Amino acid sequence: MKINGTDISLRFIHSNGLRMRIADHGEGPLILMLHGWPESWYSWRHQLKAISDAGYHVVAPDMRGYGKTDKPANVDDYDMKHLAADIAGIVDAMEEESAVLIGHDWGSIVTWNSMLLYPEKVTALAALSVPYSGRAEHSPLDAMRSRYQDNFHYILYFQEWNVAEREFDADPRGILTSLYISPDTPREEPKIKDPKRSAGGWIPRRGVPKQRPNWLTEEDLDFYVKEFTESGFRGGINYYRNWHRNWEITPELSGVQITAPVIFLAGEKDMVIGGATVEQLEKRMKPIAPNLQQVTLIPEIGHWVQQESPEEVNKLLVDFLASLKLNK
């Protein structure tokens, strides 16, 4: 597939019992880039060439349940043990001993946990958007239910079987258009303002954007819409359905540190970090990742950081990779 004038190879590999589609480009030390929800390998379209040009073999898979990768039917097959094993399996399929992981959103969550569960397979990691401060003392899902009770929250909404996917599958363009926005994207008034879950689903709560953000072309949006029209949304939503299970099945990760080199970057206005400063994020992550080398917040940028600000993200990533001296 040609991206910005560059031919990117799309092919299939087998990992952890799955047939996975990957985009790959370049030669050199292995770099795995893991996308989040609701995205695909295409979310890294601006990074594939830039990082491979710096001397690396870059691989961006469609994660389990997405795009052209297999979509197991069992919800438990989307827990963190399976997701981390998928990443270890990609390293093996590439016939490498280890890789540097770069993850965004859910991909970031998977990178943190892959480092913990398969430390021998991961040389270093760059986490985008989602920080990590260690395994919680109590179930995060229970805490969320206690906080929101009968009010709407998308993660709690996703716990309901076949409800969110039915809404999104009926209108892929509607949900994706409402999510792929910048912090300053103007929107119509939402049709649902009642905070109670009983008032309805998610799309009418978000407000229709009045325009596309400048980082998302019509061609980009069409690609995502086509992917989710064909694949459906259930696979990605099943990641959220393991929110409690992931905590339940990983007691061995309590207090375990990540000793490999780590950087974190996000948009300053990313809703995930909730307005946290660099200093606050460092304080959260340093106890669990003592080799945290850098925290960067890009001004005026939102959640889709590698798409919203590709040049700055590319420079940060290439500089980090160079610091690891993988080519020597």
Q: Express each pLDDT in 142-165 by its tens digit.
A: 999 999 999 999 999 999 999 999
Task: Clarify whether 171 is annotated catalytic.
Answer: no
Average pLDDT over residues 73-81: 98
Task: Clarify whether 25 is annotated catalytic.
Answer: no
pLDDT at 4 over 90: no
3 forms beta bridges with: 6
Q: What CATH number is associated with residue 309?
A: 3.40.50.1820
pLDDT at 30 over 80: yes
Q: How confident is the model at residue 1 (pLDDT cuts 50, 70, 90)?
A: confident
Under the phi-then-psi rule, with left for phi > 0, alpha for psi from -120 to 50, and beta for the rest, what region is 39?
beta
Question: Could you read off the pLDDT of 84-138 as tens digits, one per residue?
Answer: 999 999 999 999 999 999 999 999 999 999 999 999 999 999 999 999 999 999 9
251-283 burial, b for 16+ CB within 10 Å, e for fewer? Answer: eebeeeebebbbbbbbbbbbebbeebeeeebbe
Please identify which of the residues 46, 57, 104, 303 carries the catalytic annotation. Answer: 303
Q: What is the CA radius of gyration of the chain?
A: 19
Please identify which of the residues 24, 86, 105, 270 carries the catalytic annotation. Answer: 105
The tally of domains found in the chain comes to 1
Question: Could you read off the pLDDT of 167-189 as tens digits, one per residue?
Answer: 999 999 999 999 999 999 999 99
Q: How confident is the model at residue 34 (pLDDT cuts 50, 70, 90)?
A: very high
Average pLDDT over residues 57-70: 98
18 forms beta bridges with: 15
Q: How many CB atoms lie within 10 A of CB 249?
A: 14
Average pLDDT over residues 57-77: 98
Domain extent for 313:
2-324
